[in-house]
Amino acid sequence: MNESLRCPYCRSELPRQSLEVASCLRCSTRHHKHCVAAHGACTILGCEARVVLLGGKRFNLDELAGQLDLGAIPFRVHDGLPEQEPRFLRVEDAIDDSGKGGRARVELVLKQSSVKRGQRVRGSVIVNTPKALIVQRAGLSLETRVETQLASTHSRRATRRKTKVIQREVVFAGQRRGNAGARLVDGVYKMLGKASDRLMTIPAGRREYPFSFHIDLAFAASVHHSHGGEEDHVETELTARVVIPFGQDLTDRQALTIL
Ligand SMILES: [Zn+2]
Ligand SMILES: [Zn+2]
């Protein structure tokens, strides 16, 4: 069993360097230091201790969160192999422009529409709002789908099969879905605005949140090919989403070609 080699928060492998790994003072569970700091407590149900050991020293998690570069936010694994990248989204300071926006909307802008494996994807999530916007969370998700289309020999109808092979989600502000224990992180609050309990406010105007993440060499390359009535596609898409309580989410999507 190599269960203990995975971080229970992001499910990706734990590195050997002990300075990246924090162990819970109460139950000894190991997490990436960024993951346990982002979560704010040990993720083990019933433990939820807020003190960890890192490099032989005790750290209160608030203290640790303050020291870490919380611009690195872990991606959650929903589908696919945990060790597949991306693991961390790096978010830079938001760029504010108080100019009046039109209707509230979110825009996902990528610096490049294709990226070579082993390189970083860079882009921005831009939120435009004419007045202060109360939101639950803002995040980015990445999905890779395999689509095959087989021409049937018996009829002209083609059989289409779509499978999600990789799904990653990162919430860079606000609460994670389905986890009441999740906590807002101070460093992350600042990026989107002030937080009050579970909701937060994005100020009026245009805010740009620059981000980047790494695409591993093992990541699935984009494929588009057809032969003899058969078609194969492997497609990766990014979605930026701002969740509005009792309202319609603001979303924008961009296709990303992986070379
Ligand atoms: Zn982790
Ligand atoms: Zn614990």
**Residue of higher predicted confidence among 60 and 253:** 253
User: 149, 167, 166: which is closest to 158 by C-alpha?
Assistant: 149
Residue 10 alpha carbon to ligand 1 centre in Å: 4
Residue 48 alpha carbon to ligand 2 centre in Å: 6
The bridge status of strand 250-258 relative to strand 114-115 is: parallel
- Overall average pLDDT of the 36-50 stretch: 87
pTM for this prediction: 0.70
Query: CA 117, 120, 126, 132: dihedral to nearest 10 degrees?
Result: 120
Residue 75 alpha carbon to ligand 1 centre in Å: 8
- Overall average pLDDT of the 38-42 stretch: 82
pLDDT above 90 for 105: yes
Of the bound ligands, which one is closest to the alpha carbon of residue 44?
2
- Overall average pLDDT of the 35-58 stretch: 89
- Overall average pLDDT of the 59-74 stretch: 75
pLDDT above 60 for 188: no
Question: Residue 1's pLDDT band (boundaries 50, 70, 90)?
Answer: very low
Q: Would you state the pLDDT for residue 174?
A: 65
- pLDDT tens for each residue of 192-242: 444 444 677 788 888 888 888 888 888 889 988 887 777 889 999 999 999
Neighbours of ion ligand 2 (CB under 5 A): 24, 26-27, 29, 42, 44, 47, 49
Question: Residue 62's pLDDT band (boundaries 50, 70, 90)?
Answer: confident
Do residues 25 and 52 touch, judged by C-beta distance below 8 A? Answer: yes
Residue 191 alpha carbon to ligand 2 centre in Å: 29
**Residue of higher predicted confidence among 139 and 188:** 139
Question: Domain 1-68 classified CATH 3.30.40?
Answer: yes
Question: Residue 177's pLDDT band (boundaries 50, 70, 90)?
Answer: very low
Of the bound ligands, which one is closest to the alpha carbon of residue 88?
1
Rounded to whole angstroms, how far apart are CA atoms 212 and 126?
A: 14
Residue 9 alpha carbon to ligand 1 centre in Å: 5
- pLDDT tens for each residue of 142-171: 999 998 877 666 656 667 788 888 888 888
Q: Name beta bridge partners: 235.
A: 145
**Neighbouring C-beta atoms of residue 10, cutoff 10 Å:** 25
Rounded to whole angstroms, how far apart are CA atoms 116 and 215?
A: 8
- Overall average pLDDT of the 64-93 stretch: 74
Q: Which residues contact 239 (CB under 8 A, 6 or more apart)?
A: 108, 140, 141, 142, 143, 251, 252, 253
Look at domain 69-258 and name its CATH class: mainly beta
Residue 42 alpha carbon to ligand 2 centre in Å: 5
Residue 4 alpha carbon to ligand 2 centre in Å: 13
* pLDDT cut 70: percent of the chain above it: 81
Q: Where are the beta strands (DSSP E) in 69-157?
A: 72-74, 76-79, 88-91, 95-97, 105-110, 114-115, 120-129, 133-135, 137-151
Of the bound ligands, which one is closest to the alpha carbon of residue 39?
1
Question: Residue 3's pLDDT band (boundaries 50, 70, 90)?
Answer: very low
- pLDDT tens for each residue of 110-148: 999 999 998 889 999 999 988 888 888 888 999 999 988
Q: Name beta bridge partners: 203.
A: none
Residue 44 alpha carbon to ligand 2 centre in Å: 5
**Residue of higher predicted confidence among 91 and 168:** 168
Residues of the chain with CATH 3.30.40: 1-68
Q: Would you state the pLDDT for residue 259?
A: 95
- Overall average pLDDT of the 40-57 stretch: 90
Residues of the chain with CATH 2.60.40.640: 69-258
Do residues 240 and 108 touch, judged by C-beta distance below 8 A? Answer: yes
Rounded to whole angstroms, how far apart are CA atoms 76 and 13?
A: 13
Q: Where are the alpha helices (DSSP H) in 97-194?
A: 186-192
